Amino acid sequence: MSVRVRFAPSPTGPLHMGGVRTALYNYLFAKKHKGSFLLRIEDTDQTRYIPGAEAYIMDALTWCGLPWDEGPGKDGPYGPYRQSERKALYKQYAMQLVDGGNAYYAFDTPEELDEMRKRIEKEKSGNPQYDCRTRGEMKNSLTMPETEVKQRIESGEPFVIRVKTPEDEEVVVNDLIRGTVRVNSHLLDDKVLFKSDGMPTYHLANVVDDYLMKITHVIRGEEWLPSAPLHVLLYRYLGWSDNMPAFAHLPLLLKPDGHGKLSKRDGDRLGFPVFPLQWTDPESGSISRGYREDGYFPEAFINILALLGWNPGTEQELFSMQELIDTFSLERVGKAGARFDPDKARWFNHQYLQKKPVTDIADGFEKVLKDKGHHADRETLHQIVALVRERADFIHELWEQSDFFFEAPHDYEPGFVKKKWKGDTSALMRKLARTLETMEQFDVNSIDRVIQSFMEENALNPGKLMPGLRLALVGAGRGPDVKEIMAMIGKKEVIDRIEKAVDTLPDES
């Protein structure tokens, strides 16, 4: 039987990075086993629908390089893949459950439900929920005569269909990551499966679709583990136990301090993105940062996520998608929450910035330069990228590491001036400019030779000459080798900058 897995997000907002990790593990598992990766949009809860969220989810998966084999926009034999388009299909299964005595109609109003919960809370007699203990006191088809039930439905009274959980039975969930999880059914509540608006709830639609779409493995976040016993019961009640998928519940992503789940709000609070792409809230217009817009490479982002919960069992940290596909296994996914480390995330991007072909980086850098009003030919771009990328984590940071190739210093860093521009520096610089003036060739080697002999003739060591020169060219103590900078900006610009520094900076200090 070929592996079929699905990523089944609800379009209730932007996809959290934990959601992307779920998609990634599904994708890796599918590809590893030469199976199919499905995208199913679980949009049955109309009240939580957020415009733009579905498009966001698809854009995010596309940016991450996680194409789906079947799903919206990619039809397959088990479509449609949006639950709102499958609406007509669910009712028969809800009816099958009612007819089999495993589900029932309930007519309780929100006030009545509230009253029941409050009463139980006050009595402290158990979980304040609709379950095997409380259902006998509520307004439902278990407590009402059949004729009344019929009459209420026919008169258009709102109702829901609830699952009838067994009173005392051990429900067993075999989880590929957590092992055997046992829950006594009296702890489960009689979840709503179907509503009178004709829509199924998550639980019914999810199980029905996993069955109809021939899903073999359900790989999803730990927050769904409490729902798994109900799903096991539904498979049994619908007569599908033999086709029940295997379950694998992924560990939580934890905050950087390891305390608690990484939430949607943490990013803004702690200064890193929690969303793959930037998201603009359609109601408030507020913007949440995205990994893409922050300058992360999708490959780096995927690499980061891959290791948050899974480990390869080796020291290897950098993985291409193909390597992940080859090495991934659910056996090496841990049970414990995975702590997210924003510094490590930057480290990954840094590694990819070093590893990527220089032409790719140059493409990105060219755009950054354009925004700054500059242009450079391909060769220069390549040279600059090669010179400074080691000092940057992101393409946009290349500018801070290379602005001096394009612009003369606007000012001079006072601390560095104080330390390095003193006594005879101005005089020395003037003299050096005159020497450079005579040069014909202005490449790194010629510059090196001239500077060496200049130092010998004037009995200088590099510490006496080079910092002042760097200050004149860069305006600070940063940047790659001074001779590289000189060769790149050319003789005239070097001399102009030296003269400007001599004119601007004090002679004596």
- Residue (of 509, 478, 492, 498) closest to 432 by Cα position: 498
Binders in 53-92 for ligand GLU, by CB under 6 A: none
How far apart (Å, rounded) are the C-alpha atoms in residues 227 and 248?
Answer: 13
- Which of 158, 192, 185, 7 lies closest to 90, judged by CA? 192
Residue closer to ligand GLU (CB basis): 224 or 240: 224
Residue (220 or 497) nearer to ligand GLU, CB: 220
Tell which positions 166-225 bind ligand GLU, by CB under 6 A.
Answer: 202, 206, 220, 224
**Binding-site string for ligand GLU from residue 259 to residue 288, where x marks contact by CB under 6 A and - marks none:** ------------------------------
CB of 187: closest distance to ligand GLU in angstroms? 20
Indicate the SS3 state at residue 139.
coil
Residue 10 touches ligand GLU, criterion: CB under 6 A: yes
CB closer to ligand GLU, 204 vs 471:
204
224 vs 406, beta carbon nearer ligand GLU: 224
385 backbone dihedrals φ, ψ, rounded to 5°: -60, -45
Q: Which residue has the tokens 């940057």?
A: 392
Longest Cα–Cα distance of the chain, Å, equals: 112
Task: Give residues 130-169 in contact with ligand GLU (rule: CB under 6 A).
Answer: none
406 binds ligand GLU (CB under 6 A): no
Per-residue 3-state assignment (H helix, E strand, C coil) for 392-450: CCCCCHHHHCCHHHHCCCCCCCHHHHHHHCCCCHHHHHHHHHHHHHCCCCCCHHHHHHH
Q: Is 396 exposed, middle or buried (0-12, 13-18, 19+ CB in 10 A)?
A: middle
Q: How far is the CB of 251 from ligand GLU (least distance, A)?
A: 15
Kindly tell me which of 29 and 202 has the beta carbon lying closer to ligand GLU: 202
Q: Does 42 bind ligand GLU (CB under 6 A)?
A: yes
- Measured from the CB of residue 3, what is the shortest distance to ligand GLU in angstroms? 16
Minimum Å distance from CB 394 to ligand GLU?
31
CB 330 within 8 A of CB 247: no
CB of 206 to ligand GLU, least distance (A): 5
Size of the site for ligand GLU (CB under 6 A): 8
How far, rounded to the nearest angstrom, does the alpha carbon of residue 442 sit from its chain's CA centroid? Answer: 47
CB 220, min distance to ligand GLU, A: 3
Q: Which residues share a beta bridge with 140?
A: 106
**Nearest 5°: CA angle at 464, between 406 and 414?**
55
Q: Which stretch binds ligand GLU (CB under 6 A): 6-14, 45-53, 285-293, 481-489?
A: 6-14
Shortest distance in whole angstroms from residue 202 CB to ligand GLU: 6
The DSSP-derived string for 16-33 is PHHHHHHHHHHHHHHHHT
In the bound state with ligand GLU, the residue whose beta carbon lies nearer, of 8 and 38, is 8
Q: Least distance (Å) from ligand GLU to the CB of residue 6?
A: 7
> Would you list the DSSP string of 373-396?
T----HHHHHHHHHHHGGG-SSTT
Are the C-beta atoms of 210 and 245 separated by less than 8 Å? yes
Question: How many CB atoms are closer than 10 A to CB 160?
Answer: 22
The least CB distance from residue 224 to ligand GLU, in Å, is 5
Residue whose CB is less far from ligand GLU, 141 or 206: 206
Task: Determine the Cα–Cα distance for residues 324 and 28; give it in Å rounded to an integer.
Answer: 7
7, β-bridge pairs: 39
Q: Using CB under 6 A, which of 9, 18, 71, 309 touches ligand GLU?
A: 9
User: Which residue number, 57 or 324, has a Cβ lying nearer to ligand GLU?
Assistant: 57
The rounded distance, in Å, linking the Cα atoms of 14 and 395 is 25
Interface stretch with ligand GLU, choices 8-16, 91-99, 150-158, 170-178 (CB under 6 A) = 8-16
Known catalytic membership, residue 264? yes
Task: Considering only the stretches 2-10, 192-200, 330-338, 350-358, report the one whose residues sit in contact with ligand GLU under the rule CB under 6 A.
Answer: 2-10
Pick between residue 8 and residue 381 the one whose CB is nearest to ligand GLU: 8
What b/e string do you get for 19-31 counting C-beta neighbours within 10 Å, with b at 16 or more?
A: bbbbbbbbbbbbb
List 264, 344, 491, 500, catalytic entry? 264
248 binds ligand GLU (CB under 6 A): no
Which token pair is 127?
A: 């979980």
DSSP states of 145-209: -HHHHHHHHHTT---EEEE---SS-EEEEEETTTEEEEEEGGGS---EEEETTS-B-HHHHHHHH
- Work out how close the CB of 85 gets to ligand GLU at its nearest, in angstroms, rounded to a whole number: 15
Selected from 8, 177, 471, 482, the binder of ligand GLU by CB under 6 A is 8
Nearer to ligand GLU, 10 or 402 (CB): 10
Rounded to whole angstroms, the Cα distance separating 213 from 44 reads 17
CA distance 292 to 277: 5
Interface residues with ligand GLU (CB under 6 A) are: 8-10, 42, 202, 206, 220, 224
Give the residue numbers annotated as catalytic, written as ranges.
Answer: 264
